[in-house]
């Protein structure tokens, strides 16, 4: 069997297991990265959101065989060099309740801010990740705050 070689949080890795295994289960069961969460398995909730080549993707429907040559980055890597603005804004706005959806929300928000540095409420509404605890109002505030932080940092 050919192994699939890709980069995971900046490190090159090879995978020779079942090519159909979704990335989510590889991360959680084999790579020891449990920050990425399972919520639905059918791309309907966003709890499993990671970045593939810099863009948000739902890892529960990404088979390992599709990852050759890709750069995968998970929540564990988001703040690896100091907390990302979204992470700081999340803490300041006191977003998490149970916290289970938040890794996925943060990965989606970081992706949004890269594409849309000054997002409107309707840009934010394109994030379709579910939060069963209903933290949406604070997520919205936190994304605006993170956008402001990033602008300030860019100006500095």
Partner 1 sequence: MSTLSRRAFMQLSATALGGLVFNVGFPARAKAFADRVQGPWVFVRIDPDQPIVIGARGAEIGQGVKTSLPMLIAEELDVGWPQVKVEQLPYALIPAETEAGIAAKYGPQGAGGSTSIPDGFEELRQVGAKLRRVLMQAAAERWQTPIEALSTRDGRVLHADGREIAYAQLAARAAELPISEDPVALKSAKDFRIIGKATRVADAEDIVTGRATFGIDARVDGALVAMIARCPYFEGDIESLDGRAALAVPGVRHVVRIPRPDPDKGLVTNLAAGVAVVADDTWSAKKGRDALKVTWKRGPWSGDSSAALEQKALRALDDPGSSFDDARSDGDFAAARASAARVIEADYFMPFLAHCTMEPQNAFIDLREDSALLIASMQSPGGASRMINAMTGINRLNIDIRMPRAGGGFGRRLENDFVAEAVHIAKAIGKPLRLIWTREDDMQNDWYRPSGVHRLAATLDENGALTGWSHRAAASDRRFRLPDFADASSWIACLDPDAFPAGCIANYQAEFMPLEFGLARGWWRGPLPSFTAFAIQSFVDEIAAAAGQDPLAFRLKLLGEAREMPYSDHGGPTIHTGRLAGVLKRAANEIGYGINTLPEGHGIGMAVHFVFGGYTAHAMQVSVREGRVRVHRCVCVTDVGQVVNPLGVEAQMMGATIDGLSTALNLQITVHDGKIEQGNFPDYPLLRMADAPDVEVHILHTEFAPSGAGEMGIPTVAPALTNAIFAASGKRIRRLPIGNQLQS
142 binds ligand FES (CB under 6 A): no
DSSP H or E run through 52 = strand 49-52
Residue 132 in tokens: 């069963």
Sequence-distant (6+) residues with CB within 8 A of 127 are 46, 105, 108, 109, 112, 139
46 binds ligand FES (CB under 6 A): yes
116 binds ligand FES (CB under 6 A): no
One character per residue 56-75, x = contact with ligand FES (rule: CB under 6 A): --x-x---------------
| Alpha carbons 31 and 100: distance in angstroms, whole number | 19
40 binds ligand FES (CB under 6 A): yes
Contacts of ligand FES in 86-115 (CB under 6 A): 96-102
Sequence-distant (6+) residues with CB within 8 A of 58 are 43, 46, 48, 49
Phi (first) and psi of residue 80, to 5 degrees: -60, -35
Q: Contact positions toward partner 1, by CB under 8 A? A: 18, 21-22, 25, 28-30, 32-42, 44-45, 47, 74-76, 78-79, 83, 86-87, 90-92, 94-103, 106, 124-140
Q: Residues interacting with ligand FES, by CB under 6 A? A: 38-41, 43-48, 58, 60, 96-102, 131-133, 135
């Amino acid at each position: 069997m050919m192994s699939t070689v890709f980069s995971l949080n900046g490190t090159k890795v090879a995978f020779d297991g079942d090519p159909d295994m979704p990335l989510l289960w590889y991360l959680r069961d084999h790579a020891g990265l449990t920050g990425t969460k399972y919520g639905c398995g059918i791309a309907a909730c966003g709890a499993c959101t990671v970045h593939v080549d810099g863009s948000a993707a739902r890892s529960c429907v990404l088979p390992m065989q599709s990852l050759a040559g890709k750069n995968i980055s998970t929540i564990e890597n988001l703040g690896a060099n100091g907390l990302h603005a979204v992470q700081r804004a999340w803490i300041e706005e006191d977003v998490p309740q149970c916290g289970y959806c938040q890794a996925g929300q943060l990965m989606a928000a970081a992706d949004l801010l890269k594409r849309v540095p000054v997002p409107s409420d309707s840009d934010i509404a394109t994030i379709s990740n579910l939060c069963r605890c209903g933290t949406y109002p604070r997520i919205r505030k936190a994304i605006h705050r993170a956008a402001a932080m990033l602008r300030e940092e860019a100006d500095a």
